Chain A
Amino acid sequence: MMTEVVITGLGATTPLGGDVASTWDALRAGKSGVVALTEDWVERFDLPVRIAAKLAVDPADALPRVQARRWDRCEQVAVIAAREAWRHAGAPEVEPERLAVVIGTGIGGALTLLGQDDLLENAGMRKVSPLTIPMLMPNGPAAHVGLDLGARGGVHAPVAACASGAEALAIAWRMLRAGEVDVVVAGGAEACIIPITLAGFAQMRAMSTRNDEPERASRPFDIARDGFVLGEGAGVMVLERAEFAAARGATRHGRLAGVGTSSDGHHITAPEPEGIGAGRAISTALRTAGLAKSDIGHVNAHATATPVGDVAEAAAIRTAVGDQAVVTAPKGALGHLLGAAGAVEGLACVLAVRDGVVPPTLNLENLDPGVQLDVVTGSAREVELHAAVNDSFGFGGHNVALVFTSA
């Protein structure tokens, strides 16, 4: 019998709140984290996208000044979320060699890269910070969390675009199941609300331009959806081998019962339109969890509110899970946290199972007829849950499905 993987700590900082409790409260209450951008560069570059889901609490305000100036914003949010998760887990006493960190990001330290390039161009070589490389490297969030916790059992930084955070949890699960370590701190971090990312995604026609109604812009599964809204934040979980958690008397908030990953092999950015790869990831996750389709009561969908992606995912869910599951799409409220999305939404999935509550999908007024699923709208729905699936997909054709079950 393979070891089970239990969840003993949760941490987050998101557009809805600076911690897990405030994020979860806002998500259940149907609040939106999307706001109008007021930065001068919106006008300067005449950006077609003028909205984003910015962090509710500025991470620089939540850290000592010197740490804040030495860490890129995506490193800051990773450490803040990891510290909360670690405290929530009761700061496990674990041999450093048996503690690992897996924190993914989609983009990494883009703010640092651009800021330092400006300095190089305008002020010269000597003004470039010697911290430029450690601040921009995509393993920076994982490395800083590892240093903060003194982890010596391995520090990993999966990069799989918008599936990075979920992939981090999948890798953590595999490490724990293989018995490599006893505890893994895993999740995702992202902070790149800057002109170049908005411009780049906008040029792909992937983003909502509903600039006049920020709170109504992110509309997963709605017939009038017009793209995603860029967000920022981090989500982190403390995962442990069940035996280790039991021996130290840890409180369990749920289990990561199974994971599935697949790749579309279809197109660099477009999802395979029938959701075949996505469905395979879900089916693998169910198989590794030892569960049947009918066991799944809830799906926390990736649904970014792009026209093609949402329908492809809906098809995958119908095929791989069935239509009995109660579905929500949290990006209506959170926006799209890219490399942090899978971790933050996975966390919401854990809490949905724990509390028996599925948050509403914001702005879903007219369900796309191509989406034949029971999607929660309006207000949160109370429903007894034992097992749930969280989907994450990323540019590059990355598909990750995670199965969370009750503690």
Chain B
Amino acid sequence: MQVTNEEILRGLAEIVNEVAGVETSEITPEKSFVDELDIDSLSMVEIAVQVEDRFGVKVPDDVLANLKTVGDAVDYVAKTT
């Protein structure tokens, strides 16, 4: 079943909110996880594991390191599912 980018964004926002406490309304595609949403590398690992569970994708460490923005993550999930 194909998920839309909007659904991925919504799911990702819920995960980021759960892990890092960032308001879901703040979590928009252009935002940088580290610089703008103030998410540290430990929380990024937690987010990656939850993304794997929710969307049934693999997020290897070398991929995770290149997911700089929320949009990067949405695009990766969209093309991998």
Please say whether chains A and B are actual partners in one complex: yes
Decide if B42 touches A66 in the complex (CB within 8 Å). Answer: no
Decide if A126 touches B21 in the complex (CB within 8 Å). Answer: no
- Interface residues as binary, B11-32 with A (CB distance below 8 Å gives 1, 0 otherwise): 0000000011100000000000
Q: How far is the CB of A182 from chain B (nearest CB, A)?
A: 31
A129 nearest CB neighbor, chain B only? B46
- Interface residues as binary, A121-133 with B (CB distance below 8 Å gives 1, 0 otherwise): 0000011011100
Q: How far is the CB of A138 from chain B (nearest CB, A)?
A: 19
A313 to B19, CA, bound (A): 48
Q: Does B65 contact A (CB under 8 A)?
A: no
- Interface residues as binary, A52-82 with B (CB distance below 8 Å gives 1, 0 otherwise): 0000000000001110000000000000000
A130 neighbours in B (Cβ, 8 Å): 41-43, 45-46
Q: Does B52 contact A (CB under 8 A)?
A: yes
A64 to B17, CA, bound (A): 12
Interface size counted on chain A using CB atoms at 8 A: 9
Q: How far is the CB of A115 from chain B (nearest CB, A)?
A: 14
A84 to B21, CA, bound (A): 23
A134 to B40, CA, bound (A): 14
Per DSSP, chain A at the interface is helix
A132 nearest CB neighbor, chain B only? B42
Q: How far is the CB of A395 from chain B (nearest CB, A)?
A: 33
A129 neighbours in B (Cβ, 8 Å): 46
Q: How far is the CB of A71 from chain B (nearest CB, A)?
A: 13
A134 to B45, CA, bound (A): 14
| CB interface residues, B 30-48, toward A, < 8 Å | 41-43, 45-46
B22 nearest CB neighbor, chain A only? A66
Decide if A126 touches B52 in the complex (CB within 8 Å). Answer: yes
Decide if A127 touches B49 in the complex (CB within 8 Å). Answer: yes
Q: How far is the CB of A337 from chain B (nearest CB, A)?
A: 29
A65 neighbours in B (Cβ, 8 Å): 21
Which of B19, B21, B42 touches A64 (beta carbons < 8 Å)?
Answer: B21
- Interface residues as binary, A369-384 with B (CB distance below 8 Å gives 1, 0 otherwise): 0000000000000000
| CB interface residues, A 277-315, toward B, < 8 Å | none
Q: How far is the CB of A358 from chain B (nearest CB, A)?
A: 44
Interface centre among A64, A66, A127 (most CB of B within 10 A): A66
B residues contacting A by CB (< 8 A) are: 19-21, 41-43, 45-46, 49, 52
Query: What are 17 A-to-B residue pairs whose CB atoms are below 8 Å?
Result: A64-B21, A65-B21, A66-B19, A66-B20, A66-B21, A126-B49, A126-B52, A127-B49, A129-B46, A130-B41, A130-B42, A130-B43, A130-B45, A130-B46, A131-B42, A131-B46, A134-B42
A residues contacting B by CB (< 8 A) are: 64-66, 126-127, 129-131, 134
Further pairs besides A66-B19, A131-B42: 11, Cβ < 8 Å: A64-B21, A65-B21, A66-B20, A66-B21, A126-B49, A126-B52, A127-B49, A129-B46, A130-B42, A130-B43, A134-B42
